[in-house]
Amino acid sequence: MKQENIKKFKSVQSRLFLSLCVVVCLIIVFLIIVNSFILESFYLYSKINTLEGVYEQINTYISKDYNIAELEEKLERISVNNDFDIIIKTGENITIYSTTKDYMGMLKEFGKIIPYSNKDECIEGNENYTIKSVQDTTTSINYILLTGTLNNGYSLYIRMSIPSIRESVKISNRFLYTIAIFVIIIGGVVVSYISKRFTKPIEELNDIAKKMSKLDFSHKYKETNLGDEIDELGKSINSMSTKLETTITQLKSTNRELERDIEQKSKLEQMRSTVISDVSHELKTPIA
């Protein structure tokens, strides 16, 4: 029983199944590692590009002289879609738009980080805007802050929370872990089916070869016409089986003829001996 288990473990099907399972698991582990260590940086990079795009988009809205209602609607859509906090102020430091109705609260929130922006990490920037990594001195929450000047001289502030990015990454990781479990389960079933499908023709060829070793040529490989290596091997075994069967049949026929010739020769030899014995006896009697 133990030898049968070892033999089954060493079979092509088992090794193919284990190899495919290992490949699937390695791919999942690779995705988890990439998701854990690279996704946050990639997501942050994408958000920074979005910030730059939003700056250009707001510049376009301002230059088209939309009325306040239309401008607020478009800015609100940008804020909701991207989870940004937006403030636009005139040159006289008057707020004309904020993503919240609590203008003073929002300004205080921005005021906690704007004075410290000079010593914070600068990520991107040009003559019109700068994007920095800043920290709220009260809550110690990190933000990505864009401060810039629009074409009409208005000041623009766009704030994005870094913890929200990290939370999105955590959610993505949890989702990936859940998907990984289902992938392993479903992948195991699929891999098992694929390994059986690949090894079934090999097992069939093995059975045919065993029968051929016992001079049983009644079984033939069912050709699939796929043109792959297994199908070509099956055709070769069928051809070899047919030739062996023909050759062995001819040998048996020749052997039977040889046996008949030997038997006939033996009978002739026996008759000759009998005749010689009879003649010798007949000759000895008169002489005596």
d(CA 207, CA 204): 5
pLDDT digits (tens, 9 = 90+) for 17-67: 777 778 878 888 888 788 777 877 788 888 888 888 888 888 888 877 777
Write down the pLDDT at residue 282.
64
Parallel, antiparallel or unpaired: strands 85-89 and 155-161:
antiparallel
Q: How confident is the model at residue 1 (pLDDT cuts 50, 70, 90)?
A: very low
Instruction: Give the Å distances, CA to CA, from 241 to 20, 214, 217, 250.
Output: 34, 12, 6, 14
Mean pLDDT of 185-197: 78
Q: Which amino acid is at 120?
A: D
- Tell me the chain's radius of gyration from C-alpha atoms: 45
Model pTM greater than 0.85? no
Percent of the chain with pLDDT over 70: 81
CA proximity to 146, closest of 54, 40, 64, 79: 54
pLDDT in tens, 237-272: 778 888 888 888 888 888 888 888 788 877 777 777
Express each pLDDT in 82-140 by its tens digit. Answer: 888 888 888 777 777 777 655 445 555 555 444 444 445 677 778 888 888 877 666 67
